[in-house]
Amino acid sequence: MSLDFDVFVAQPKPVPSAVPGFEEAVGPATWPPSTSTLIGDDEGTLLVDCLITVREGRELAEWVRAHDREPDHVYITHPHADHFLALSEILEAFPRARPVALADSVPAMREQISPGYLRVWGGFFPGELTGSPVAPGPLAGTTIPVGAATATVIPVGTTDTGHSSVVHVPALSLVVSGDVAYNRTHMWLAGSTPGTRADWARALDTVAALEADTLIAGHRHPAAPDDDARRQIDESRRYLADFETALADSSTPGELIDRMTAAHPDLANPYTLWVAAHDLLGARG
């Protein structure tokens, strides 16, 4: 069988709301829909990112088995635990798989599974997370064999966190972007600064230069029309630019939320926007 790929999509998950008025105005708070991507052929397989809860990890493992494949490598794109806390379930199912990440990102991933961070993540998902978290080891170099093909790991710097990367598979004209591009989903901008937002825009330029046809975003609206790379990069650029303008023009969280909702009315997970607005403007009212 020739090289191909498939995408597992985890639906939005309920989380406790920490934002005043959100549930009354919008409804239950949720974690955004997330993806994991399986790439391979009869000679080898790569799994990119592996979600967060124990249940998601087990469902992902069963999905991989249904493809009659066993991952040789599991690559983690960036140091956010919602993309790798379920790694322990994947390794239990596929003990020969080698979990890897860019060497520079591994210390931040280890920090994500420290007791303090796990208490934070456990507050979002009480009773749903592994008690035996695992961090990936450092990847030697920037390439991963995928059967008869090669995946190239490209560091892109800061996006919604530092040490972000994407996986480029030229043989498929495919990029698996982690959190670099979002697909019809509000982008995580809590804690951002003008500098980090500019860094994120440059990261999108790096991905655009790959000229891939298909991009799998780490967070994808269940009703997104497609995985077209150019559309997603353009829309993510526009979201960052609109957020910068709306933030400059707003003095309260509500003003920022209203401006961004008017500009982007149909995106998944508005809770993400509300968190950013209250984080960046909450002290002003």
State what percent of residues in the chain have pLDDT above 70: 99
Task: Check pLDDT > 60 for residue 275.
Answer: yes
Element (H, E) at 174: strand 174-178
Tell how many helices (H) and how many strands (E) occur in the chain: 9, 13
CATH of the domain at 15: 3.60.15.10
Give exposure, 183-213, as e/b (b: 16+ Cβ within 10 Å): bbbbbbbeebeeebbebbeebbeebbebebe
Q: Per the structure, how many domains does the chain have? A: 1
The chain-wide mean pLDDT, for the chain, equals 96
Strand partners, 152: 143, 168
Task: Check pLDDT > 60 for residue 254.
Answer: yes
pLDDT band at 283 (very low <50, low <70, confident <90, very high): low
- Residues 158-173 have a mean pLDDT of 97
DSSP 3-state of 168: strand
Kindly state the tokens that stand for 48. Answer: 């990119």
- Residues 148-173 have a mean pLDDT of 96
Task: Check pLDDT > 60 for residue 285.
Answer: no
Strand partners, 50: none
- Residues 66-77 have a mean pLDDT of 97
pLDDT band at 284 (very low <50, low <70, confident <90, very high): very low
**pLDDT at 282 (0 to 100):** 87
Strand partners, 273: none
- Please say whether the beta carbons of 166 and 124 come within 8 A: no
Domain containing 148 equals 4-284
